[in-house]
Amino acid sequence: MKIMVSSFSETSNAMANPRFGRSDWLILFDIENKTEQVFPNPASNQSGGAGVAAAQFVVDQKVDVVISGHFGPNAASVLSTAGIQMILFSDEQQTCQQLVSAFQQGELKEFIHA
């Protein structure tokens, strides 16, 4: 399973960023291979359409799950169409690694795109 988390910084111990499309970094946790990859969000500085561009980047990485604090409707539509599960967090004082652990333990709620 591959899990992507929006982040303020480029380490798994960084605080998770609640803004998906405009987060500075996206951290990919490959649970099966126990690896992490850090990507600068290619959409973070776009003047418009950041959510869609970030979502397409996530789709291109073949991610199964995305964890963030908020998904805009356009980003959610791209992710939902690709079959990627969206998970929300509300405690902004958690690291990316803590959120992955919380997700694995079933402690986070799924975002349902209508």
Residues contacting residue 15 through CB under 8 Å, at least 6 positions apart: 7, 8, 9, 92, 93, 94, 95, 96
pLDDT for position 70: 93
pLDDT for position 83: 96
Helices (H) and strands (E) in the chain, counts: 3, 6
pLDDT tens digit sequence for 7-27 = 999 998 999 999 999 999 999
Residues in the chain: 114
Number of domain units in the chain: 1
Domain limits for position 12: 2-111
Instruction: Residue 95: give its domain's CATH number.
Output: 3.30.420.130
pLDDT for position 46: 84
Q: Which parts of the chain have pLDDT scores under 50?
A: none
pTM passes above 0.85: yes
Residues contacting residue 88 through CB under 8 Å, at least 6 positions apart: 67, 68, 69, 70, 71, 108, 109, 110, 111
